[in-house]
Structure 1
Amino acid sequence: MAPRPAWKGYLKLSLVSCAVELTSATDHSEKVSFRVINRKTGNTVRRQYIDSVSGKPVDPDDEVKGYEIGSDEYLLVEEDEIDAVQIESSHTLSIEQFVDRAAIPQIYFDQPYYLSPSDEVSEEAFAVIREAMAKQKKAGIARIVLYRRERPVMIEPFDKGLLLTTLRYDKTVRQPDEVFGGLRKGKLDPELVDLATHIIDKKQAKFDPSGFEDHYEEALLALIEAKRKGKKPPV
């Protein structure tokens, strides 16, 4: 089954535009997940909102978002009011500028998505934009409203389509000096540096993500299988 698009809209480069859809480039469906169980009954439990003053459960129909405007004072905002908030980037990925991909520090990269044409009519315009970007070896910078947040994004040619990577805002990224500022610049032992360099040379290899394995997940599955068979969990 094809993955469900996370967003649908238009990709725009000046006067050229086309209908596109965004699909997550990662999949977490195979991860081990647990349900919360009532130890006494063996039944699953569900979360329920409780009124902080009365202590009584709140009916789902009475749940509403609130924005704090004072001490214990909230402005109620309905879901349909939030859905009605629309700006250009809610539906259009308008490429504002082009940059060298290498000029964007790795720390600003967030989540990757595949960007592809959403219908046959849009395939040619999409291919034109992709080919022009590949020819110039540039990455486009745009904005998109995703999951009720506007996010800056980088768009670059990838395989037969485009790869869109959401970017972190500068104010959310800690500056290196906050963490590394206290490190001393002492004189290093040349022999130790040579030894470390030699080890790096010996361990050089081609990047191959197929070799990555989640050993913690394997250990969890081994634990689950042992308990299912009534055996002692493996160490």
Structure 2
Amino acid sequence: MRNATKGEQTVMAARATWKGFLKISLVNIPIKVFPATESSATISFNQLHGECQTRIQQKRWCPHCNREVPNSEIVKGYEFEKGRYVVMSEEDFDKVRPESTRVIDLVQFADERSIDPMYVDRTYYLAPDGGMAADAFAVMREGMEGKVGIGKLALYGREYLVAVRPHDRGIVMYTLHHAAEIRGIDAVEELASVPVKVKPEEIKLARQVISTFEGPLNLADYKDEYREGLQKIIEAKIAGEEVVAPSIETPPRVVNLMEALKKSLDSVSTQKKKPAKAAAKPVAAAKAVAAAAAPKRKRA
């Protein structure tokens, strides 16, 4: 597999996880699908026996028969009443299991802003599969500018609702939650006590405070500080070092909202009056605070 160079870093070329066709009316474009997110960025742990540090094996145990159950004896059941189940066989699942057609069939287009982020599940990149598909891929990508295509994809025995839209040189695909999976906001009982009308002077101050944090957004400026800190602790423990955690101050409870808003504005005004060298962007300032609060190491 070829590697791509990005600055001084060597990035492994993406590996396609699926091949098929993007269907728009009578046009079928051979495509490859690539995950847009990196699961390896997450630190994973194994469960060990604390006494000997051996990895734990989890056995499937039947408390009624008082014995371990092999995979050949395990079936799927749906609990319709407390303690009562209906057993589902593979034949039952086959009756509703869609055939994997290897086709992303787009049946509707809408404004690209129509998709509520709450519905987005996972993100993938689409790319043409072969040189012959590149021209058609580019034409449809440009034709979809400002639009999002909605369709379905039958894969691995499941049917997925998907949204497709152009992105840079390629096309992105989102798998979507169905409307029935989205919990209504009315289910949050605590929101019933939130006032509908608030004081105009408080709104004005709140907007002033918020405006002081406005600026061009670049999500690359925001790092996973928890993951980075956790990685440092792991590396320190491997090296036989001890990590001392910093003390954490509990934020004071807001009693007077107007007073808190005014103090926020005063704090921003004070920082703006400092020399330009001491001034810092919101993100840079946040990084400085995080660095100051980073755990200090001491030799064991």
Which of 238, 247, 261 aligns to 1:228? It is 238
What residue number does 1:8 align with? 19
Q: Provide TM-score, normalisation by structure 2.
A: 0.67
Segments of structure 1 that go 5 or more residues without pairing to the other structure are none
Q: Displacement of 1:163 after TM fit? A: 0.7
Indicate conservation of the 8 Å contact 1:65/1:77, yes or no: no
Structure whose alpha-carbon radius of gyration is higher: 2
Residue aligning to 2:158? 149
The amino acid that maps onto 2:42 is K
Indicate the SS of the match to 1:47.
coil
- CA distance in structure 1 between the partners assigned to 2:79 and 2:213 by the alignment: 57
Match 1:36 to one of 36, 42, 47: 47
- Please provide the CA RMSD for this pair: 2.5
**For the residues of structure 1 that align with 2:66 and 2:14, how far apart are their CA atoms?**
41
Query: What SS does structure 1 have at the residue aligned with 2:89?
Result: strand
Equivalent position of 1:217 in the other structure: 227
Do residues 96 (structure 1) and 107 (structure 2) align?
yes
Q: Give unmatched runs, 5+ long, in structure 2.
A: 1-11, 246-300
Cα distance change on mapping 1:124 and 1:189 into 2, 3 Å = closer
Is the 8 Å Cα contact of residues 133 and 157 (structure 1) preserved in structure 2? Answer: yes
Alpha-carbon deviation of 1:140?
A: 0.6
1:82-128 CA-to-partner distances (Å, cap 9, x unmatched) read 5x9443x6411111011012122222222111011122222222222
Q: Where does residue 170 of structure 1 map in the other structure?
A: 179
8 Å CA contact retained: 1:222, 1:234: no
Aligned to 2:211: 201
Q: Greater RCO between the two (CA within 8 Å, min separation 6)?
A: 1
Q: Does 1:74 align with 2:83?
A: no
Correspondent of 1:123 among 134, 148, 154:
134
Contact 2:148 2:165 in 1 (8 A): yes
**SS of 2:138 mapped into structure 1:** helix
SS at match of 2:62: coil
For residues 114 and 157 of structure 2, what CA distance do their matches in structure 1 show?
28
Would you say the 8 A contact 1:11–1:20 is kept in 2? Answer: yes
**Offset of residue 225 of structure 1:** 2.8
Shift of 1:177: 3.1
Asked if 1 retains the 8 angstrom alpha-carbon contact of 2:33 and 2:124, the reply is yes
Deviates more, 1:196-205 or 1:23-32: 196-205
Aligned twin of 2:249: none
Percent identity between the two aligned chains: 29
Q: Shift in Å at residue 231 of structure 1? A: 3.2
Can you list the C-alpha shifts for 1:121-141, whole angstroms capped at 9, x where unaligned?
Answer: 22222222212112xx21111
- Is the 8 Å Cα contact of residues 160 and 175 (structure 2) preserved in structure 1? yes
1:189 deviates by 4.6
Paired residue total:
227
